[in-house]
Structure 1
Amino acid sequence: MPDVRELTPDDLDDAWQLGRLAFGYDPQPPPPPATTGRTAYGAFDPAGHLVGKAVDLHDEQWWSGRVVPAADVAGVAVAAEARGTGVGRTLLTALLRGARDRGAAVSALFPTTTAPYRACGWEVTGQLRTLDLPTAGLPRQRRDPQLTVRAGTPADLPATTELYRRVACHRNGLLTRTQRRFTVTDKLPYDGLTLVEHDGHLVGYAGWNRGQGYGPDAVLTVEDILATTAAAARALVGVLASWYSVAPTLRLTLLPGDAVSTHLPLERTREHERHAWMHRPVDIVRAVPARGWPAHTRGEVTFALTDDLADWNTGTWQLTVADGHADLRRSTAEADLHLTVRGFARLYTGTATARALAETGLLHHRTPDPSALDLLAAGPTAHLIDYF
């Protein structure tokens, strides 16, 4: 097995080369990454050569009104000659242990291939979809006279961050965007920022990049768009519709079921790009009580869990949910419900029911009906709209 340790500045050139070969990066390396808010791990063969790498992003996620510490995994690469020898599994085992030591509760990643991550306990729990719409097909309605629509400046970025917080905090899985890579405020991160205000308060925004040309292939790419009212969403859609003569295609990533989505002709979308994302618990004893739970949900269930990489999660557990909170304690009772860590991820993110999991083999049960474990799936379905 390789030796795994945190990468040092002296390892950065080798790490870049490994990632360049794996992902086809530009041969010219970028400036060195920030040393805070992330932990980079490297796997080294007996000769001391770097044969694998992975990065733990010290993120936080919103889960029903509460912030949950996360280990979001990025930049995983293994040298071609070392693939299939257990390097990736050894790396991810070390990453999980280090993430637990620093207090992380959950983890997410965007895989280039799912099989090795499934073997390590992550499971597909959603899709990040970028859609194309014909700009000319967007509705153009009379703007609410109580709204002000204007161009934004860098000084407005803190207000957009606060609006994002209001939209994201009561949902599940979304990043808090408080990490350093989201908090640059000295310049706009897009070509343009459109703001919608009501009585001086921000109620919607869209950050967009113009792209090149004005012919039939021209695209207006909306990098970020959110609204807190229906009127603000309609105003933003109206501004985007005004680009129809010079940007026939609108490209955007939507938060499913949000205010903007409900005012777009989604039946006319074409999928431009899709990225599956995967979830797994780092430490279930933290993950369960750290998040918010539906206030109307009450119940108790005992289950057994198996986690080959994070043995601290393995055992028999009693879950209790009441009054918007949950508790998870080890139990000596015999469990009729046996859950894999991938099954835990599907339930925790609200992307499966216990009956559905039983059909996939991610849950085994000795009772006729395993639905008592639906308690773990209480709450909104998790989403991610930021790629990492």
Structure 2
Amino acid sequence: MTVRELTAAELTDAWQLGRLAFGSDPQPPPAATTPRAGLTRYGAFDDTGRLLGKAVDLHHDQWWNGRPVTAADVAGVAVAPEARGRGVARALLRTLLREAHDRGAAVSALFPTVSAPYRACGWEIAGTLRTVALPTAALPRQRPTAHLSVRAGTPADLAAVTDLYEQTARHRCGMLTRRGPLHDTDELPYDGLTLVEDDGRLVGYAGWNRGRGYDRRSVLTVDDVLATTADAARELVGVLASWHSVAPTLHLTLLPGDALATVLPLESTREHDHDTWMHRPVDVTRAVRDRGWPPHVRGSVTFTLDDPLADWNTGTWQLDIADGAADLRRTDTDADLHLNVRGFALLYTGAATATAVAQAGLLHHRADVAPHALDLLAAGGPAHLHDYF
């Protein structure tokens, strides 16, 4: 088996492989069969040159406590039915990680259709992107706020929308920066964009898709809605409430604990859909060094790490965190804590404590050694993803 970057001439075959795997539209969009900046497409071939599988490295950046971290987010992994179970996906992911490491990536996230193959390659489930259904009639209504104005957005407003998103995302962990060639566009990615402004300054927005019909089955889908003030959140909710007569149901993708969550009647929601996401380090030293850390956290811990697919991560490490920064360096010191790369992912994303990771069999220690020192790696708080890819 040979794994290498796909040529432009091979992109149509790769699309067809993905179409069969995911049941996509038979007609490929232009972006799928032409070279694009901001991503690398890989293919696995047998000795006759037949395409067996493919995977895509998305050159994203993720926000981690105020600092952007270079990511190799994974999408479009597909293997031909006749080649499944023969290590094709593992070979693709091994090459993807090695090449991503060489270009400077620190971390990687993906949305799996099935978790087992990715767990075998070092990714672990760290969170869920949830979409809720909410009766439009349940939304609170209020008079428009005097100091705020509401208008329809245009493509010219997309830069300001990205800036507002950044105000919301940059202090969190794991969210995409939405910067770079994969996010550059001069067209609205929704049917409509509603903006809330305070003296000309954007303080909230909602990107929505209308759907079809206007009876009891009609749905307004709001994939992207954020606000930076409580007043702006209430104003957006009021605009969404105005759809009650023609769209009785809203589908909303919400960010936990943001301004919208504090004004919505969350008790009236029910889960509409959820997409589980997974995470792993590409390079543990960069993953620790490049992100921000809470300024009040201070400490050190020594541990060994086992990463069979990315052996540059394997070894004994000392982690030091102080004053909002961290360092991870190799050491010859004996370590009592032995961590699997999947356990590293759980701790790094704040998805579990060291005790929970040990109970899952991803952290090993002697009975007389408490695992709590590795909670230092989880000090950054829980990670979130707000974009499906």
The two structures have a TM-score, normalised by structure 1, of: 0.98
| Deviations 1:115-164 (CA, angstroms, capped at 9, x unpaired) | 00000000000001111100000111233211111111221111111001
Partner of 2:54: 53
Distance 1:157 1:23 in 2: 31
Partner of 2:9: 10
Distance 1:89 1:329 in 2: 28
Deviates more, 1:358-367 or 1:60-69: 358-367
Does 1:184 find its partner at 2:174? no
Contact 2:11 2:34 in 1 (8 A): no
Distance 2:13 2:199 in 1: 54
| Deviations 1:47-91 (CA, angstroms, capped at 9, x unpaired) | 110001000000000000001000000000011111111111111
Distance 1:272 1:178 in 2: 29
| Deviations 1:214-235 (CA, angstroms, capped at 9, x unpaired) | 0000001112100000000000
Identity of aligned residues (%): 70
| Deviations 1:145-203 (CA, angstroms, capped at 9, x unpaired) | 11111111221111111001111111000000013232212x32212111111121111
Helix, strand or coil at the partner of 1:150: strand
Pairwise mapping of residues 165-204 of structure 1 onto structure 2 (< 5 A)? 165-185=166-186, 187-204=187-204
Contact 2:155 2:188 in 1 (8 A): yes
Distance 1:181 1:3 in 2: 27
Contact 2:65 2:172 in 1 (8 A): yes
Q: Tell me by how many angstroms 1:25 deviates.
A: 1.1
Code of the residue aligned with 2:229 in structure 1: it is: T
Distance 2:235 2:184 in 1: 26
Deviates more, 1:359-368 or 1:81-90: 359-368
Pairwise mapping of residues 1-388 of structure 1 onto structure 2 (< 5 A)? 2-31=1-30, 32-185=33-186, 187-366=187-366, 367-388=368-389
Contact 2:8 2:34 in 1 (8 A): no
Q: Tell me by how many angstroms 1:387 deviates.
A: 0.5
Q: Tell me by how many angstroms 1:272 deviates.
A: 1.4
Distance 2:35 2:44 in 1: 20
Helix, strand or coil at the partner of 1:17: helix
Code of the residue aligned with 1:178 in structure 2: it is: R
| Deviations 1:10-29 (CA, angstroms, capped at 9, x unpaired) | 11121111111111111122
Distance 2:44 2:361 in 1: 32
Helix, strand or coil at the partner of 1:81: helix
Q: Which runs of 5+ in 2 are unaligned?
A: none
Q: Tell me by how many angstroms 1:337 deviates.
A: 0.3
Q: Tell me by how many angstroms 1:380 deviates.
A: 2.4
Code of the residue aligned with 1:273 in structure 2: it is: D
CA RMSD, 1 decimal? 0.9
Helix, strand or coil at the partner of 1:39: strand
Q: Tell me by how many angstroms 1:207 deviates.
A: 0.9
Contact 2:211 2:219 in 1 (8 A): yes
Helix, strand or coil at the partner of 1:67: strand
Helix, strand or coil at the partner of 1:308: coil
Q: Which runs of 5+ in 1 are unaligned?
A: none
Q: Tell me by how many angstroms 1:261 deviates.
A: 1.2
Q: Tell me by how many angstroms 1:34 deviates.
A: 4.2
Helix, strand or coil at the partner of 1:36: coil
Distance 1:362 1:293 in 2: 23
| Deviations 1:88-131 (CA, angstroms, capped at 9, x unpaired) | 11110000000000000000000000000000000000001111
The two structures have a TM-score, normalised by structure 2, of: 0.98
Helix, strand or coil at the partner of 1:272: strand
Aligned length: 386
Q: State the 4+ residue runs in structure 1 displaced beyond 4 angstroms.
A: none
Code of the residue aligned with 1:171 in structure 2: it is: R
Code of the residue aligned with 2:347 in structure 1: it is: L
Distance 1:182 1:261 in 2: 26
Helix, strand or coil at the partner of 1:166: helix
Q: Tell me by how many angstroms 1:33 deviates.
A: 4.2
Deviates more, 1:137-146 or 1:46-55: 137-146
